[in-house]
């Protein structure tokens, strides 16, 4: 697997943006969330940015700012907050068993729905909604696109396709592939040990038998990349792959949102 020898967290400037933390109203109270948007008037296309397994840390916030510079109202909610703080864990196995495995999809879907309500009240265009997610959020991207009819485009970054984390998982992307409400672009690494290529092929076959949005979806595999190739703060980062994937992401959203 090829990795970058110079991985360093990218910091996107806030010039020309409005951004910050806010309390997102949800069904049982509120959770923390972050948003970024161009400091302009008018209704903006919306992108829900779904966290990695590590929560809404600085990398996810920076991605929101990247989308904001591209013209989007980007929102990243803290989807584990009821169960705990992912940033307090140093061991991934413990993080998964003690926190991630206790987060039901139903809770996540409802919180993302709440993001859309908030976005509609704060300058977002609810007819132009995209969702994207990384690692854990990559799987959620597929699931949310089958849940929410307002979604018009999605980009799933190296999210599991045939498995989830823990006993609360009832379905996975391969199970809902046929009934997507929007075309999804999947971005995956051919050397990703956590997502076997046979599950990628399984997903492709499921999409090919699905509805019009399923059949319009596409999975692109970077053969020499592993997991988290876009995570510029980690050794797994591959700049050339990340740059190409970002361009594909923006082009996919623009096309399917009619921008």
Please give the distance of CA 237 from its chain centroid, rounded to a whole number.
Answer: 17
The bridge status of strand 44-50 relative to strand 73-77 is parallel
Catalytic positions, written as ranges? 135, 192, 227
d(CA 89, CA 84): 10
Q: Is 62 exposed, middle or buried (0-12, 13-18, 19+ CB in 10 A)?
A: middle
C-alpha atoms less than 13 angstroms from C-alpha of 178 in its C-beta half-sphere:
6
d(CA 259, CA 257): 6
């Amino acid at each position: 697997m090829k990795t970058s020898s110079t991985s360093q967290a990218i910091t996107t400037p806030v010039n020309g943006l409005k951004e910050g933390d806010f309390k997102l109203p949800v069904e049982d109270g509120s959770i923390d969330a972050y948003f970024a948007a161009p400091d302009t008037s008018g209704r903006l296309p919306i992108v829900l940015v779904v966290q990695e397994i590590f929560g809404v840390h600085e990398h996810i916030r920076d991605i929101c700012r990247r989308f904001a510079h591209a013209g989007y109202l980007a929102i990243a909610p803290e989807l584990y907050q009821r169960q705990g703080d992912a940033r307090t864990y140093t061991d991934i196995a413990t993080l998964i068993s003690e926190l991630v495995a206790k987060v039901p999809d139903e809770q996540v879907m409802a919180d993302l729905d709440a993001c859309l309500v908030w976005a509609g009240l704060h300058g977002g265009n609810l007819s132009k909604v995209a969702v994207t997610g990384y690692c854990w959020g990559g799987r959620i991207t597929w699931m949310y696109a089958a849940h929410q009819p307002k979604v018009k485009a999605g980009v799933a970054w190296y999210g599991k396709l045939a498995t989830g984390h823990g006993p609360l998982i009832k379905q996975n992307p391969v199970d809902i592939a046929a009934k997507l409400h929007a075309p999804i672009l999947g971005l995956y690494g051919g050397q990703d040990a956590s997502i076997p290529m046979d599950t990628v092929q399984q997903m492709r076959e499921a999409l090919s038998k699905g509805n019009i949005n399923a059949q319009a979806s596409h999975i692109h595999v970077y053969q020499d990349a592993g997991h988290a190739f876009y995570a510029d703060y980690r050794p797994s980062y591959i700049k050339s792959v990340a740059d190409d994937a970002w361009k594909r992401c923006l082009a996919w959203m623009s096309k399917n949102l009619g921008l």
